[in-house]
Structure 1
Amino acid sequence: MSDGGVPSAGAGTSTSSSTRRLELQGFRGVAALSTVVFHVWQQYYVYDARGAHPPVDNPYLGALVSLEVIDLFFVMSAYLLTLSYARAAIDGDDRTRPASDFLFRRATRILPLYFLAVLLVWSLRNPSLPGDWRDLLEHLTFTHVLDRERIFYTLGPTWSLSLEIAFYFTLVALGPPTIRACRRLRTRRARVALCTAGCAALYLAPLAWIAVAHHALGVPHTDWPVYFGPQARLGGFAAGMFLAVLLVALGDRARLGTRAATATAVATTAALYALSYYSTPENTWHTYYHPLAALLWFALLYATLHIRGTAHPRWHGVLRTRWLTGVGLISYSLYIWHEPLMLALYDTGALPHSQSAFPLAATLVVAAGVLVATVSYWAVEYPGSLLAGLRDRRGRPREFYPAPGPEPMGEPRGEPEPAVR
């Protein structure tokens, strides 16, 4: 998802920052495409008296397609947005933006496209007013993640944007006090320890919530607000925050060689697949899927961002391919539009309804989604992001029409400009 709100910022490492930026963009592309295929997979499930039947009866393929990547978006987003706070807290490099400016820039990145999509899709699905006004209100205020019935209405995948918004406010609430507390500490080690403890607390609190909800209260996994709300999913952001703290703390130390980075990437990818394969509703792997996945994505991103020297593993080359980074660039638009597009194609018969047609359907939705997302990016998302230019580097409103200074003595006045009608 952009990220669903994931910024297109650099990784902030001291070497090859542009390459790291491309690799993160490649990850966005992989995650966005995986999300599209997963939702097509869900669309082609068949439910009857005997249970749920996937479009392809192959548990190995099912585990691959169902490997959720939303936690990757969360970890990347938190990592990138926490970097400036981590540098300020640990090294005193205070270049963080004021909270109001940070939130303003996030709003210009997310809201124009999101509000347009919500209003358009809701209007098409509610042609007679007042329609489901509560659904519209909740989506416009990012509170639909707290509604068990409407959490997946209008734009199903955008429940994750509610968590992004919650994280933004968490970051601006905790970041400045943490920086002030770190400035009172004499040693760098103490500052790193304080930041690490904060990240650990933010990770463990949702873990405790999940444990109590599942084991003590017996809340089923289908009670979506309990397990999808910010109180349960902030751990993914905490993992990304700790990644920022760790990389700032280490600097050029403890960098991985290409072999170690490749081994780490292979091991974490295999672990992510195993987690998906062994996860079934209500078992331990399913209950703690997202906190565990966040740790594994953390390890994979560490192996991507913290490599010794200028040589790169071969798998980095895949992430830097132009077509994949291109998909990463439009990933937020693709995340927003792919589900309503898929449903429209399915309902009008443009997609075949037979389960055996899943591969064809996935290909068609990906192709149509990328096309629509490309148009959306250049027509809506990119122009909307330019609104950030309304503020200068210090967060103050930019003066586009400065008042003219006093005219030098003795110079003749020019002819007045004609009035514009």
Structure 2
Amino acid sequence: MTATTLPGARSEESVAVRSKAEEIQGFRGIAALSTVIFHVWQQYHVYDAAGSHPPVDSPYLAALLSLEVIDFFFVVSAYLLTLSYARAAIDGGSTRPGRLFLFRRAVRIVPLYFIAVLVVWSSRNPELGGNWRDLVEHLTFTHVFDQQQIFYTLGPAWSLSLEVVFYLALVALGPLAVRACRPLRRRGARVAVCAGGCLLLFALPVVWVAVARYGYGVPHTDWTVYFGPQARFSGFAAGMGLAVLVVALRDRGRLPGGAAAALSAVAAGAVYWLSWDSRPENLSFTFYHPLAALAWAALMLGVVHASGRVRWHRLLRARWLTYLGLVSYSLFIWHEPVMLQLYHWGLLPGRPDGFWWAVAVVLLVAVPVAVASYWVIEYPSSLLYRLRDGRGRRRDFYAGVVTR
């Protein structure tokens, strides 16, 4: 290969990377839509002496509508954030300082989250005698450890507590993995160390859930037992394992289009089956989240390790879907307060027959709110990462130098 062909090769590689990023963004858009529908689904359940009644009659459609996608977000987040550590541990190189990593994650999620918490909490606690405990726990990301407050103010935001725990764990464990692998001469040994660590992080929460459910008979409504990081870290571990697998394979074992599509279809079918079979008496209910995380990781492998463009991925690269993925965090933050406020104002149809109209109305309002939130709050705050250089040092823009 001559030197003149290298720019073209790099161009093709950059196009492929950009394409994968668009496809992941498209998946985020689908997951965001699914999250909104899921919470409207929960809102439109009818509860009476006979139990819980879903807002649709078809059990097949109910399994699709009630499908939880939070583990997808965990897997994707862990995959993307672990890649640099996996490359450094397996193939050598350096990683960015932990303080820079935490700073960039903070400016990415905290400003919008804090604003939303303060706005929603203030609207529900207009007097000084409000629920201050709830506010403090949400602002410190500790509400996931409180049985009473875990779903207050911003119900879906319990997952952000787990994200914060993951960031702290990654900053601690990533450099340890790099140092542990450095003395190992064989690449296979370095891969084994990283994969073994991911497997351990995946297995420990599974053991916790099994002991809690079958050893002590803890009911599934004990949220602090089953929603805390000790029970749900498997989702992040699956994403970390995916990052290790992709780095370990490099360009080997790239999936052709048909195989990638088949793997994604099987993985999606597995997630659907888990939702279909997930009843309290079944193992699929108890271990839904680690099993779903494995399925989501397999689905993502069919995206990030495909040898070329997969035909059906054109849908994922659709502009409206990638744009929805772009604003998915804002949509995730605001959709529940929007839904509850619309319901409080009587602007949503009655339950359960009005479920589909409610989905349409909530999306019609929540999506524009998310778009405005992204451009007014989320995007400007994300630019704060420029306050630090690549080594985590503070930039002094007035003096034109970098200072500590």
Specify which of 384, 388, 392 is matched with residue 385 of structure 2: 388
Match of 2:71 in 1: 71
CA distance in 2, matches of 1:279, 1:14: 41
CA distance in 1, matches of 2:37, 2:61: 12
User: Post-superposition shift, 1:282?
Assistant: 3.9
- Which amino acid is the alignment partner of residue 384 of structure 1? S
User: Post-superposition shift, 1:15?
Assistant: 7.0
User: Does the residue aligned with 2:366 lie in a helix, a strand or coil?
Assistant: helix
Tell whether the 8 Å contact from 1:221 to 1:282 is kept in structure 2 after alignment.
Answer: no
Cα distance per residue 1:247-299 (max 9 Å; x no partner): 11110001111111111111111111111001012421100000000000010
CA distance in 2, matches of 1:191, 1:321: 39
- Runs ≥4 in structure 1, deviation > 6 angstroms? none
Cα distance per residue 1:2-36 (max 9 Å; x no partner): xxxxxxxxxxx887100000000001000000000
Could you say which structure has the higher helix fraction? Answer: 2
CA distance in 2, matches of 1:126, 1:400: 41
- Which amino acid is the alignment partner of residue 296 of structure 1? A
Tell whether the 8 Å contact from 2:111 to 2:378 is kept in structure 1 after alignment.
Answer: yes
Match of 2:92 in 1: 92
Cα distance per residue 1:141-168 (max 9 Å; x no partner): 1011111111100000000000000000
Structure 2 segments unaligned to the other structure (5+ residues):
1-12
CA distance in 2, matches of 1:317, 1:66: 26
CA distance in 2, matches of 1:348, 1:145: 29
CA distance in 2, matches of 1:93, 1:302: 24
Tell whether the 8 Å contact from 2:26 to 2:316 is kept in structure 1 after alignment.
Answer: yes
CA distance in 2, matches of 1:373, 1:317: 24
CA distance in 2, matches of 1:164, 1:266: 28
Count of equivalent residues: 389
Match of 2:10 in 1: none
Match of 2:396 in 1: 399
Note if 1:18 corresponds to 2:15: no
CA distance in 2, matches of 1:126, 1:391: 37
Note if 1:349 corresponds to 2:349: no
- Which amino acid is the alignment partner of residue 313 of structure 2? H
Note if 1:328 corresponds to 2:325: yes
Match of 1:190 in 2: 189
User: Post-superposition shift, 1:48?
Assistant: 0.9
Match of 2:220 in 1: 221
Give matches, 1:15-94, under 5 Å. Answer: 16-94=16-94
CA distance in 2, matches of 1:364, 1:174: 44
CA distance in 1, matches of 2:281, 2:385: 44
Tell whether the 8 Å contact from 1:199 to 1:242 is kept in structure 2 after alignment.
Answer: yes
Match of 2:229 in 1: 230
User: Does the residue aligned with 2:209 lie in a helix, a strand or coil?
Assistant: helix
Give matches, 1:15-414, under 5 Å. Answer: 16-94=16-94, 96-308=95-307, 310=308, 312-402=309-399
Tell whether the 8 Å contact from 1:220 to 1:282 is kept in structure 2 after alignment.
Answer: no
- Which amino acid is the alignment partner of residue 42 of structure 1? Q
TM-score after normalising by structure 2: 0.95
- Which amino acid is the alignment partner of residue 255 of structure 1? R
- Which amino acid is the alignment partner of residue 87 of structure 1? R
User: Does the residue aligned with 2:349 lie in a helix, a strand or coil?
Assistant: coil
Identity %: 63
User: Does the residue aligned with 1:338 lie in a helix, a strand or coil?
Assistant: helix
CA distance in 2, matches of 1:166, 1:58: 38
User: Does the residue aligned with 2:19 lie in a helix, a strand or coil?
Assistant: helix
User: Post-superposition shift, 1:362?
Assistant: 0.1
Structure 1, 40-49 or 151-160: larger mean CA deviation: 40-49
User: Post-superposition shift, 1:191?
Assistant: 0.5
Match of 2:5 in 1: none
User: Does the residue aligned with 1:211 lie in a helix, a strand or coil?
Assistant: helix
Note closer, same or farther for the CA distance 1:380–1:14 as it changes in structure 2 (3 Å cut): closer
- Which amino acid is the alignment partner of residue 338 of structure 1? H
Greater CA radius of gyration, 1 or 2?
Answer: 1
User: Does the residue aligned with 1:47 lie in a helix, a strand or coil?
Assistant: strand
Tell whether the 8 Å contact from 2:46 to 2:351 is kept in structure 1 after alignment.
Answer: no
CA distance in 2, matches of 1:341, 1:146: 25
CA distance in 1, matches of 2:400, 2:245: 47
- Which amino acid is the alignment partner of residue 295 of structure 2? L
Structure 1, 96-105 or 153-162: larger mean CA deviation: 96-105
- Which amino acid is the alignment partner of residue 77 of structure 1? S
- Which amino acid is the alignment partner of residue 47 of structure 2? Y
Structure 1, 151-160 or 280-289: larger mean CA deviation: 280-289
User: Post-superposition shift, 1:352?
Assistant: 1.2
CA distance in 1, matches of 2:115, 2:61: 35
Note closer, same or farther for the CA distance 1:134–1:91 as it changes in structure 2 (3 Å cut): same
